[in-house]
Amino acid sequence: MFLNHLKNADRWKIIKNLIFLFTGIFLLTLLYISFLKVLNYLKGVEIIGELLVMKLSAMVFVISFSMIAISSLIIAMTTLFYSRDLNFLFSLALDERYIFIDKVITTSFYSSWSIVVILFPYIAAMMKVSNSGIGILGVFLVGVIPYSFMAAFIGIIISLFLMYFFPSSRTRDIVWIVSSLSFSLVYVGIRFSKPEKLLRPDMMGVIANYLSYLQAPTSKYLPSWWFTKALIDFAHMKYLSSFMNLFLLYFVLIVVFWIMVRVGKNMYLVAYSQSQSSGKKAYRYTFPFEYRLSRKGFLTGIMPLLYKERISVFRDVRYLSQLILIVALSMVYVYSIKSLPVDDFEFKNLISFLNIMVSGFLCAAICLRFVFTSVSYENGCFWIYKTMPLTPQMIILSKLLFYFPFMYLFSLGIVSISSYYLSAEKFMFSFYIFLTTFMSFVISVYAISFGSIFPDFRIENIHQVESSYGGFIFMASSLFYVMFVIAIFAYPIRQYFICFGNKNLHFDWYYFYFSFAIFMILSFATSFLVFNIAKRSIQSIEI
């Protein structure tokens, strides 16, 4: 399948994948440098240096183990119980154990590969610090299979029990929300604990003390500890002990696999059958305000579509789980701005100006998830719109009108709160609000338009649309737009600050008006252009 994917990849797909690949390599290199710095310091601590390295490794592996298990639990909820091919597979004369094992392998792979990739820089840093040579990489490759699969199996077994005892899609929804909430809390928690302090040399001692007291990650019953031991013992040339720990990992993996298959044999079919009967939640119908407005002549024709959009979005729990993550992301961003150690007036204003760029990027990223995907989100139901007497602009506008207020409020919130913390000058503050209003609108128009130009009504997972060619084009266009806006206002804004700081200088508004005119022309012309292409695209869609 992978080879076919490569063979069929067009030029744009290859370019896109190469960009992602190089970005990934860059981030992994950054991780490697950070790990190397920390490990080097810890190893240099007198007497307990080796112990600290071991404790940190144990901690890294125990955290990764839990992450794979949680990730596997979330993914298993879909792959084992709600995957589209399951109906077909169960209709075949196949032993359900084979279906179960097939889904187990898929789930284990998808839940662990990214975490395993992130572990590579850590192992490379360990290899460098311990001078153990390439052999440690071999131990890692041999050990990471039972380590990651065991974690994934644990998640799968939990998902089986959950769906067996609490069947229905509500269970899946609750798992999604709780997982998103816990990920967000961990993320916010880490940020609020001010990890940047750890980069200060005087704080390294605190890390060392903290690590030396930690006992839990080195508990001998944890598979992550066996993996850590296999690596550390190999680095210390205790090959037999390293081998024994690897053997223990494989042995326990076989035992866990056997238990899982036994559990699966007894529970999977029942859990699967029960999961198909969704929680029959009833909703009392009340005449919606959208219909009232429509009948009063306000956006007649579009308001009913807005109603359908509102109900669909607010009842889809996947949106809720992602909203939780976005709220966490925004909180962390605003907190980071608040914690900036900047007192200089000019520098503060520069940051507040560049803040517009960051909020534009954030808005584009969120639009990619919600607005860009909204046309493809119609999925198989798009035939309903296509057979209704609706113009393409009614379809596009209904989605734009629904999502834009949220995107606007998000951008406005980010920009106004961070500008407040940066004590932005009054005129600039109003100007930022104005820019944000326009930029969030233009980015939303881009998102809905590119989403209409590159729809995919056959996807199983809406995230596939985000990483599609169209998603890439949308992000590139939005980022280019944001960068362009920053570039055209850079000069007049700089002049404004210079003049603001020196009352003897006179600010020439000419440059400002000129930039403003270019900004308006760019925003309107590009929005108009993509919107019109989107209209034609919707018109010509054949399903």
Positions that interact with another protein (CB under 8 A): 169, 277-285, 291, 294, 301, 304-305, 307-308, 311-312, 315-316, 379-381, 383-384, 386-391, 540, 542-543
d(CA 421, CA 539): 47
Element (H, E) at 343: none
Nearer to another protein, 17 or 169 (CB): 169
Can you tell me which residue has the tokens 């404004």?
496
Can you tell me which residue has the tokens 């013992």?
233
Could you give the C-alpha distances from 300 to 76, 307, 378, 385, in angstroms and in order? 44, 12, 21, 16
d(CA 361, CA 421): 20
d(CA 274, CA 516): 60
Look at residues 143, 150, 152 and name the one whose alpha carbon lies nearest to residue 232.
143
Cβ contact 207:49 at 8 Å: no
Nearer to another protein, 128 or 463 (CB): 463
Neighbours of 260 (CB within 10 A): 21
Look at residues 502, 188, 157, 542 and name the one whose alpha carbon lies nearest to residue 336.
188
Nearer to another protein, 89 or 490 (CB): 89
- What is the residue type of 261? V
Residue positions counted in the chain: 543
DSSP classification of residue 198:
G
Nearer to another protein, 352 or 537 (CB): 537
Cβ contact 303:289 at 8 Å: no
Q: How far is the CB of 312 from another protein (least distance, A)?
A: 5
Cβ contact 477:523 at 8 Å: no
Q: How far is the CB of 300 from another protein (least distance, A)?
A: 9
Nearer to another protein, 284 or 426 (CB): 284
Residue partners of 530: CB distance under 8 A and separation at least 6: 445, 446, 449, 450, 453, 477
Nearer to another protein, 384 or 517 (CB): 384
Q: How far is the CB of 282 from another protein (least distance, A)?
A: 4
Q: How far is the CB of 91 from another protein (least distance, A)?
A: 14
Nearer to another protein, 260 or 271 (CB): 271
Q: How far is the CB of 283 from another protein (least distance, A)?
A: 5
Q: How far is the CB of 383 from another protein (least distance, A)?
A: 6
Nearer to another protein, 346 or 460 (CB): 460
* Helix, coil or strand: residue 489: helix
Nearer to another protein, 16 or 399 (CB): 399
Cβ contact 519:488 at 8 Å: yes
Q: How far is the CB of 388 from another protein (least distance, A)?
A: 6
Q: How far is the CB of 168 from another protein (least distance, A)?
A: 10
Output the CA torsion sign for 267, 273, 278, 280: negative
Q: How far is the CB of 170 from another protein (least distance, A)?
A: 11
- What is the residue type of 129? V
